[in-house]
Amino acid sequence: MKKELFQTIEIPEGVEASIDWGSVTVKGKEGENKRTFNLGKLDFEKKENKIIIGNKKATKTEKKMMNTIASHINNMIKGVQEKFEYKLKVCFSHFPMNVKIEGNEAVIKNFLGEKIPRKVRIPEGTEVVIDKDIITVKSTDKELGGQAAANFETATRIIGKDRRVFQDGIYITSKCGREI
């Protein structure tokens, strides 16, 4: 059944948003986020300090797309106000692990006593700070920050051994201020 559905997103003070076809640019005190959306049949416009997404004859598909795009834009607005922060912990039992940043990648040395260091790619637009055994990843883009944290975790994944015994690795302890 087709209905008239529209969703409004408030733009807070100190944040600028601009729309050009399907791309949205959000600027704030922490930085800038830009993203292009595949709108399909949705109407997309900015009036004063609001972004309006919707369709006069929306179906379930348009409703799902509308809610997803609204969530992405809300995350973009939160990111330019205050950066998303992920914390990771370096855990080892026998072989002391070293983590260093070299350019746009991190090097993990002596993981499980391995001679060849493991390398982690750090996406552009993320800040990584290493303080002894705590790694902090900050980014205005939620997806980039999460991907950087996931890259650390997957680089030290142990395959072919019992995870209950071999518990070494780098693990995410908090996502965007929420403890895990």
Sign of the torsion angle spanned by Cα atoms 88, 91, 96, 97: negative
Tokens of 24: 């949205």
Q: Per the CATH hierarchy, to which homologous superfamily does domain 3-81 belong?
A: Ribosomal protein L6 (3.90.930.12)
DSSP-assigned letter for residue 59: -
- Token readout for 3 is 């209905």
Q: How far is CA 170 from CA 2, 112, 123, 155, 176, in A?
A: 49, 12, 18, 8, 17
Q: Is the pTM of this model over 0.85?
A: yes
Same fold, 3-81 and 84-179: yes
Domain 84-179 indexed as CATH 2.60.120.200: no
Tell me which H or E stretch contains 34: strand 32-36
> pLDDT value at position 88?
95
* pLDDT tens column, 73-126: 999 999 999 999 999 999 999 899 999 999 999 999 999 999 999 999 999 999
176 band by pLDDT with thresholds 50, 70 and 90: confident
**The two structure tokens encoding residue 7:** 């969703």
Helix (H, G, I), strand (E, B) or coil at 113: helix
Give me the residue spans of the domains in the chain. Answer: 3-81, 84-179
Q: Note the helical H segments in the chain.
A: 60-81, 142-155
SS3 label, residue 112 = helix
Per-residue pLDDT, averaged over 34-46, amounts to 89
